């Protein structure tokens, strides 16, 4: 099998690349503007890497789509602060650039595995979100946070329509707060500059207070990257067509914790396992901040976001296996090589 990964240097792309090379005999062609997360892959004989921008090297991208069996377009902005601050850039990259890739997959009749998102469910009040029955609920237009959710939702709808009317073969997967090594840059001190886990870890290591948006009572189901990648490998493999034209929530419903609890877990972890940083962790206090002050007017939060994973369990034989405590330890351990550079840049 020949797989094309666009955005291979990202969090998901880099872990997927490594897992495929380690566990499968598949060939990968990959593109990204950077390659710093791909050091374990670049010299591998089954890995062909092209440094470039999918919005610029369009002829190369189309040619590679023609040659591949499966296409994973993973290029996207996925940081909520950017949805509010630069919604047009989110639309142009996440929607417009990816629509071109989807159209090429239709033209050349190639199977696409596309990253939808847990964000498509928005403020849905279901206790568990179901891929086929839950409503997708977003806020008013002035709440620009929803540009990401609605861009992804429309792409999901287009892929579904292309499948029904033009024979596109697809699988959509919806990650629920995947986390792990290489998530975001913990050295970025800007509030909202990264997703919550890397944001909090950076705060703790710098001895800064953690800002809990709306007191941190909102909950997320945190899913360790290895579990997410395991699901993706099963989707790509598509044994007996099990993932053909399906949508899957990929999340860990057991690990449904509040953002406040997450902050407390991280502080305790750093205090107990990284004595060089226990002073900073002790200095870190939890402060409550209102969403408007932290993100701006265009933000609205999601209070509860629990996936039903029944369909992934049944079709793919997949189940998440890494609990939050273990996953956080693995993540912090992987980031610990950056700790010294953080403390010397203070
Ligand atoms: C994320 C992002 O939109 C995407 O990465 C992704 O598609 C999706 O969810 C997912 O991974 O499932 P969200 O969970 O809201 O959305 O993003 P985070 O930045 O990780 O924030 C989680 C929660 O922590 C939010 O309620 C946010 O307000 C809160 N937060 C964040 C704080 O309380 N303090 C901070 O400093 C940062």
Ligand 1 site, residue 199, Cβ cutoff 6 A: yes
Query: Residue with the nearest Cα to atom 34 of ligand 1?
Result: 212
Nearest to 236 by CA among 110, 108, 112, 73: 112
Ligand 1 site, residue 176, Cβ cutoff 6 A: yes
Ligand 1 site, residue 177, Cβ cutoff 6 A: yes
Query: Residue with the nearest Cα to atom 21 of ligand 1?
Result: 196
Ligand 1 site, residue 213, Cβ cutoff 6 A: yes
pLDDT score, position 308: 98
**Six-digit token pair at 230?**
């395991």
Q: Give the containing element (helix H, strand E) for 265.
A: helix 259-273
Give the start-end residues of each E strand in 176-273: 178-179, 210-213, 219-221, 223-224, 246-250, 256-258
Is the Cα torsion angle 10, 225, 200, 307 positive or negative in sign? positive
pTM for the model: 0.97
Pick out the chain residues at pLDDT < 70.
Answer: 340-346
pLDDT score, position 342: 56
Domains of the chain, with CATH numbers? 2-180+222-254+304-321 (3.40.50.720)
pLDDT score, position 336: 86
pLDDT score, position 344: 42
- Cβ contacts of residue 299 below 8 Å, gap of 6+? 80, 84, 143, 145, 291, 292
Number of the ligand 1 atom closest to the C-alpha atom of 194? 19
Question: Contacts for 48-57 with beta carbons within 8 Å, 24 or more apart?
Answer: 49/8, 54/6, 54/7, 54/97, 54/101, 55/93, 55/97, 57/31
38-84: per-residue pLDDT in tens?
Answer: 999 999 999 999 999 999 999 999 999 999 999 999 999 999 999 99
pLDDT score, position 337: 79
């Amino acid at each position: 099998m020949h797989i094309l990964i666009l955005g291979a240097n990202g969090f998901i792309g880099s872990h997927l690349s490594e897992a495929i090379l380690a566990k499968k005999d598949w060939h990968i062609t990959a593109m990204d503007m950077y390659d710093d997360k791909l050091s374990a892959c670049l010299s591998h004989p089954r890995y062909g890497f092209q440094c470039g921008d999918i919005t610029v090297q369009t002829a190369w991208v189309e040619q590679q789509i023609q040659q591949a069996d499966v296409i994973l377009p993973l290029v996207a902005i996925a940081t909520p602060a950017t949805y509010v601050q630069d919604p047009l850039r989110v639309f142009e990259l996440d929607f417009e650039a990816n629509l071109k890739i989807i159209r090429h997959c239709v033209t050349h009749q190639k199977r696409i595995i596309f990253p939808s998102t847990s964000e498509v469910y928005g403020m849905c009040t279901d206790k568990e979100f179901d891929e086929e029955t839950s409503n997708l609920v977003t806020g008013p237009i002035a709440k620009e946070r929803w540009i990401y959710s609605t861009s992804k939702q429309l792409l999901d709808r287009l892929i579904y329509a292309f499948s029904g009317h033009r024979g596109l073969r697809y699988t959509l997967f919806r990650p629920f707060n995947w986390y792990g090594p290489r998530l975001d840059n913990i050295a970025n001190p800007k509030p909202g500059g990264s997703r919550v886990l890397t944001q909090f870890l950076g705060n703790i290591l710098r001895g800064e207070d953690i800002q809990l948006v709306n007191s941190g009572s909102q909950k997320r189901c945190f899913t360790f990257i290895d579990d997410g990648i395991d699901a993706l490998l099963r989707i790509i493999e598509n044994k007996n067509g099990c993932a053909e034209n399906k949508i899957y929530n990929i999340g860990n419903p057991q690990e449904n914790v509040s953002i406040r609890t997450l902050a407390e877990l991280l502080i305790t972890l750093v205090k107990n396992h990284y004595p060089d940083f226990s002073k900073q962790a002790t200095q870190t206090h939890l402060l409550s901040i209102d969403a408007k002050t932290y993100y701006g007017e265009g933000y609205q939060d999601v209070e509860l976001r629990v996936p039903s994973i029944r369909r992934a369990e049944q079709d793919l034989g997949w189940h998440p296996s890494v609990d939050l405590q273990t996953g956080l330890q693995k993540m912090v351990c992987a980031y610990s090589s950056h700790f010294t550079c953080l403390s010397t840049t203070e």
